[in-house]
Amino acid sequence: MAKILIIGAGGVATVAAHKLAQNADVFTEIMIASRTKKKCDSIADDLKKRYGVIAQTAQVDADNVPELVALLKSFQPKLVMNLALPYQDLHIMDACLEVGCNYLDTANYEPLDEAKYQYSWQWAYQDRFKEAGLTAILGCGFDPGVTSVFTAYAAKHHFDEIHELDIVDCNAGNHHKAFATNFNPEINIREITQKGRYFLNGKWIETEPLEIHKPLTYPEIGQRESYLMYHEELESLVKNFPTLKRARFWMTFGQEYLTHLRVIQNIGMARIDEIDYNGQKIVPIQFLKAVLPAPETLGENYTGWTSIGCRIKGVKDGKEKTYYIYNNCSHEAAYKETGTQGISYTTGVPAMTGAYMFVTGQWGGAGVFNVEEFNPDPFLAKLAESGLPWHEIINGDLEF
């Protein structure tokens, strides 16, 4: 029914490829292309072994638009799933426009030389995608992604107006390494060391990095210290749900992780500018990435759960109401199924689900869309069926 091209061959791409192969009746041809072809080959070998599905592979530098265009012209996919890094978003969107191909990603564009997360760069493609009659689906991982769809689902089915939103992201898993990040270390450290930001009564309030924190209780996990951070879906959610008076994002971190992070920053290893080392230019955070464990290798000894969801307060039929919608995901179960840990799993499954919505005609339209703009119902049904079931608590105490 549809040809799909995955770009990237890391943890998230691995899970998405497994999930595409599990839906081979819809995704009839799969290609995995990335900078390092042997990583694509190894995913393809696994797909053949586990599901008997043959995926093609290719080498591509996704920062090189002519190279991408040549690949797209020869494979002619219906949809490109950009599961490489946020730096490649605009190059891949440019190539899609040139060839006439639809686009999906899981993280908003970020310039290499500045850790700055905002949708403006990708929203600026709105007219070009519209005129070309193509669809670009932005931020279709878990957060952004499922959290955005959870919010849309709450607004559609549970509230007349939503007023307060807390997105809560807990990783209560243990990978048994002294320090490792669960997705690309460079992107992860850039994100966490940024200033915090939340939305209050029409304004953005800035905080020092991880300055605001408090213990929050997560279902079947218990209390975990949770830190207020800026996260990209807040920007599109306050735009698409203008009744929101407050929107915040919280993530849990262990003390050991924070101590390592502080040391990494203090000794300059989180720097994103070039330095001279023995006559060679290196970027410290990129060097650090090269010595840290790769996210896709963490799965084997990972135990415990993630719990990510949305806690929402608003009004229904003139009465105040609270609503909590969340998914808990087991790292062990994710590893057993796909050979990767829970964070890659919770990102790769929604990416496939978004692709499924698009190729089956349940999501679409010409232009650039954040996922909360689509119908949440078929997405959440498919998500639950694909390994990420979700749960609701109505009128519970949400620790706002």
Question: What are the residues binding ligand NDP (CB under 6 A)?
Answer: 8-13, 34-36, 39, 60-63, 83-86, 88, 106-107, 141-145, 183-184, 187, 295-296, 343-344, 347
Judged on CB neighbours under 10 Å (0-12, 13-18, 19+), 346 is buried
Sign of torsion, CA 282 13 365 107? negative
Q: In the complex, what is the shortest distance from the CB of residue 140 to ligand NDP, in angstroms, rounded to a whole number?
A: 7
The distance of closest approach from Cβ of residue 142 to ligand NDP in the complex, given in angstroms and rounded to an integer, is: 4
Smallest gap from residue 286 Cβ to ligand NDP (A) = 10
Dihedral sign, CA of 290, 339, 327, 81?
positive
| Residue closer to ligand NDP, measured from CB, 155 or 298 | 298
Q: Which is nearer to ligand NDP, 83 or 168 (CB)?
A: 83
Q: Which two tokens stand for residue 242?
A: 């203008």
Least distance from C-beta 302 to ligand NDP, angstroms?
Answer: 14
Q: Considering the complex, what minimum distance in angstroms separates the CB of residue 204 from ligand NDP?
A: 21
Nearer to ligand NDP, 112 or 200 (CB): 112
Question: Which residue, 146 or 162, has its beta carbon nearer to ligand NDP?
Answer: 146
Give all strands (DSSP E) within the chain, no chain letters.
Answer: 2-7, 27-34, 56-59, 79-82, 102-105, 135-138, 161-171, 196-200, 203-207, 213-218, 222-229, 246-252, 275-277, 280-282, 305-316, 319-330, 367-370, 391-394
CA 300 to each of CA 173, 176, 337: distance values in angstroms, whole numbers, following the listed order: 12, 10, 12
Q: How far is the CB of 192 from ligand NDP (least distance, A)?
A: 12
| Minimal CB distance residue for ligand NDP | 10
CB 231 within 8 A of CB 240: no
How many angstroms separate the CA atoms of 348 and 83, rounded? Answer: 9
* CB nearer to ligand NDP: pick between 10 and 367: 10
Q: CB 202 → ligand NDP: shortest distance, Å?
A: 26
The first and second tokens of residue 222, run together, are 């218990």
Tokens of 65: 């638009």
Report which residue type is found at 186.
E
The distance from CA 19 to its chain's CA centroid, rounded to whole angstroms, is 16
Parallel, antiparallel, or unpaired for β 135-138 and 367-370? Answer: parallel
Nearer to ligand NDP, 40 or 132 (CB): 40
Closer by beta carbon to ligand NDP, 23 or else 106: 106
Pairing of strands 367-370, 319-330: unpaired
Report yes or no: 32 and 17 within 8 Å, Cβ to Cβ: yes
CB 91, min distance to ligand NDP, A: 8
- Closest CB to ligand NDP among residues 183, 230: 183
Instruction: Give the span between the Cα atoms of 334 and 329, in whole angstroms.
Output: 8
Q: In the bound complex, what is the minimum distance in angstroms from residue 8's beta carbon to ligand NDP?
A: 4
Residue placing its CB nearer to ligand NDP in the complex, 113 or 211? 113
Quote the distance between the C-alpha of residue 9 and its chain's center: 15
Q: Measured between alpha carbons, how far is residue 181 from residues 153, 175, 279 in Å?
A: 30, 10, 30
